[in-house]
Amino acid sequence: MTMDPQQARGDLARIEEIVAQTRRQIDPHAFHFVHWGVIVLVWFPLGNLLQLRGGGAPLIALNVGAIVLGMAITIVREHLLQRHPRLAGENTFLTRQVVLIVYSLVIATMVLSAVTPATELIRGENVPILWGLAYAVIAFMTGVVYERDFLFRGVFIFAGCVLAMLFQEWNGLILGPFMGLGMIVPGLRAERRVRRLLEEKVGSPELV
């Protein structure tokens, strides 16, 4: 029994559309990319300037404050989403992949941020470069499993990391814009995609 080529092409097109629709039905919680992008956009350049002036208590306060603020926003917004998910029928497999990428790289970078200066593998003031590399990988891998826009921003952030390695004294001033914009731009676009999906389903809802 042979299949009609035209029918086969039609069936293949329908399968591709179903797969594409399934991939679109994902909420990557991209507001995390946005708020952490905004934080590093301010945090890293300001920290760099304080480091050049000798660091001390103001730099410690800045570092602790930025981390506490970012974690507080993350925890509160995730709690709200657990109570009120934004997308019904969400593709949770892809969502879990994005979450696994982010959390595994954040944990690994936190460990390296403590170990590498303690072992004198890198200087403490160069730890932001580690975070730049982590952001680049997070963006790139999110682009692989979710949306290509993140992939290109991962390359953009990596370019900033290379510049920061070449001009280490100014690493925070370099990485802040590269990391910040590299996360904010695709994050906002991803949030707009979620908004469009919501509007298609229930009119014009507010995002959480």
Closest by CA to 39, choosing from 180, 189, 155, is: 180
pLDDT score of 83 more than 50 = yes
Q: Under a CB-based contact definition with an 8 Å cutoff, are residues 147 and 154 in contact?
A: no
Per-residue pLDDT, 47: 95
More confident of the two residues 159 and 10: 159
* Phi/psi of residue 205, nearest 5 degrees: -80, 165
Find the mean pLDDT for residues 49-76: 92
Q: What is the 3-state secondary structure (H, E, C) of 129-148?
A: HHHHHHHHHHHHHHHHHCCH
The pTM of the full predicted model, rounded to 2 decimals, is 0.80
Q: Under a CB-based contact definition with an 8 Å cutoff, are residues 151 and 139 in contact?
A: yes
Find the mean pLDDT for residues 123-130: 93
The tokens for 51 are 């480091």
pLDDT (tens digit per residue) in 180-208: 999 999 999 988 888 887 776 655 444 44
The tokens for 159 are 């370019």
Per-residue pLDDT, 107: 92
- Angle at alpha carbon of residue 106, lines to 65 and 86, rounded to 5°: 85
pLDDT (tens digit per residue) in 11-40: 555 555 544 555 556 777 888 999 999 999
Closest by CA to 51, choosing from 154, 143, 175, is: 175
